[in-house]
Amino acid sequence: MSFVFAAVRRPARAILPAIVLLFALVTAPLAAEVDSRLFNAALAGDLAGAKRFLENGAKVDFVHTGRGTALIAAAYKGHDDIVEVLLAKGASVELTAKNRLNALVVAAGGGHVAVVERLLAAGASPDVKAARGATALILASEIGHGAVVDALLAGGANIEARAEDGATALLQAAWHGHPGIVAALLAKGSSLDVGLKDGTAPLAMAAQHGRAGIVDTLLAAGAAIDAQNSFGTSALMFAAQSGHVAIVETLLAKGADPSLSLKNGTTAHGLTKDAKIKALLAAAGE
């Protein structure tokens, strides 16, 4: 995985570079001690080596400086067979590396559903928060790992958990365009209108980023069409400003109010440069 992300309003993805850097393979070998060799074997997917180092006395919960445990390394790479062996030897599912990353979070981030299910069965808490307050469910919902989302929900993950900026799993899935995950979260009762700390709701995020199908789904589920954030921005304003003609048409057809304004008095009409959108708003009475 390689990721480049803005860090301001993307709490889940903001931790992914940390995951990648945490386990970047280096050309220089780690220390020769048996504990470090166990970590290396877990990271490389060397099942025979991992078993051998454990038999030779490697500490199953040895924490490699800055990089976590062998279990975290194996979970990150999706080595389910090694995860199984380490858990059988009593590896802790709760120990963390930098940025509060534990085995479940890194497995969820990598889309390793078998590892996620095994860790949950071993007692891993699905709601531990990593850096920026992201849970495994929020992270998987943003990246688009639907099977992981299903496993976490089945494992009792808090569907309403919020990251530091207020983002929920539903908001992340709506924002990043994962309709299947949006549908799964709604089916489990996710709150429609809980959004970022500034009040930006999932519908507004979907409208801003051109997720037309998700806009339809959220509206059909009863999302508040004219909800405004703390700046006064509504879903219609976001769609107009971003130039998403089809979404503007949908919102207007569903009754969105074109006269709503920002705190400075600017309406959707004043936020767009698109002639077709201006015409649509004018026809709607703005």
Tens of pLDDT, residues 52-111: 999 999 999 998 877 899 999 999 999 999 999 999 999 999 998 877 889 999 999 999
| Residue 6 banded pLDDT, cuts 50, 70, 90 | very low
Contact 83, 115 (CB under 8 A): yes
pTM here is 0.88
Please determine whether the domains at 1-158 and 192-286 fall in the same fold group of CATH.
yes
- Cα separation of 153 and 147, whole Å? 10
Q: Phi first, then psi: what are they for 39, rounded to 5°?
A: -60, -45
Domain ranges, ordered by start, for the chain: 1-158, 192-286
Please count the other Cβ atoms lying within 10 Å of the Cβ belonging to residue 264.
8
Contact 236, 257 (CB under 8 A): yes
Residue 13, pLDDT above cutoff 60: no
- Cα separation of 204 and 225, whole Å? 9
Tens of pLDDT, residues 139-195: 999 999 999 999 999 999 999 999 999 999 999 999 999 999 999 999 999 999 999
Taking the C-alpha atoms of 134, 135, 137 and 139 in order, what is their torsion angle to the nearest 10 degrees?
Answer: 40
3-state secondary structure 238-264: HHHHHCCHHHHHHHHHCCCCCCCECCC
The superfamily CATH assigns to domain 1-158 is: Ankyrin repeat-containing domain (1.25.40.20)
State both tokens at 143: 């990246």
- Cα separation of 180 and 68, whole Å? 33
CATH of domain 192-286: 1.25.40.20
